[in-house]
């Protein structure tokens, strides 16, 4: 049976690969920005109009920054999911039972029903893992399987949201 150090070593390799991938995405976005700026200047756009366009693109997730943000999000989520859900490494460090934990924000009915359930990895593989396409939310699932022995689920008490004015009145 492997120890926690072998799990950490694999995590470090995955994180190094993630770092290289993120650097390549950043470089690609820089090249795209440079090409956009050069093309816009050649077509007669002013620096101010280019700046305004890029700020709008950044704030609204437009063609340039939206592609970058989406690729980073998808990549990071994929890597983190692999780290969290890796049965081989988890079993090597002694995890035998897993608890399904739903995000509890826009949660699909399948995931809401599974929230808090505890099973072995084999049982979860038969029923369907998060992001494997077996739930209503399919690959958009944000649920995770975590060590059941190390977690206790407590209900989240969410009261009525207060406006800034209501908060100042209560002071």
Query: How high is the pLDDT of residue 161?
Result: 53
Query: How high is the pLDDT of residue 169?
Result: 56
Cα separation, 153 vs 108, in Å, equals 19
Q: Are 126 and 116 in contact (CB under 8 A)?
A: no
Segments in the chain below pLDDT 50: 1-4, 6-7, 155-158, 171
CA distances from 113 to 101, 107, 126 (A): 10, 10, 16
Domain borders along the chain are 4-85, 95-150
Tell me which DSSP letter residue 106 carries. S
Query: How high is the pLDDT of residue 155?
Result: 47
Q: For the segment 34-64, what is each residue's pLDDT rounded down to a tens digit?
A: 999 999 999 999 999 999 999 999 888 888 8
Q: Are 154 and 109 in contact (CB under 8 A)?
A: no
pTM of the model: 0.43
Cα separation, 57 vs 74, in Å, equals 19
Query: How high is the pLDDT of residue 79?
Result: 64
Cα separation, 43 vs 36, in Å, equals 11
Q: What is the largest CA-CA distance in the chain?
A: 66
Query: How high is the pLDDT of residue 135?
Result: 79
Q: Which helix (H) or strand (E) holds 68?
A: helix 63-85
């Amino acid at each position: 049976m492997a120890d926690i150090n072998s799990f950490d070593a694999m995590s470090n390799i995955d994180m190094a690969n993630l770092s290289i991938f993120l650097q390549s995405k950043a470089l690609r976005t820089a090249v795209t920005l440079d090409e956009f700026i050069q093309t816009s200047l050649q077509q007669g756009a002013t620096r101010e109009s280019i700046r305004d366009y890029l700020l709008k693109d950044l704030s609204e997730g437009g063609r340039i920054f939206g592609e970058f943000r989406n690729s980073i999000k998808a990549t990071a989520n994929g890597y983190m999911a692999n780290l969290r859900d890796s049965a081989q490494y988890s079993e090597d460090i002694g995890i035998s039972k897993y608890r399904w934990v739903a995000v509890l924000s826009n949660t699909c009915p399948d995931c809401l029903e599974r929230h808090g359930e505890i099973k072995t990895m084999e049982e979860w593989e038969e029923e369907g893992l998060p992001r494997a396409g077996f739930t209503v939310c399919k690959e958009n699932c944000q649920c995770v399987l975590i060590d059941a022995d190390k977690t206790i689920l407590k209900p989240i008490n969410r009261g009525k949201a207060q406006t800034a004015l209501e908060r100042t009145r209560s002071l």
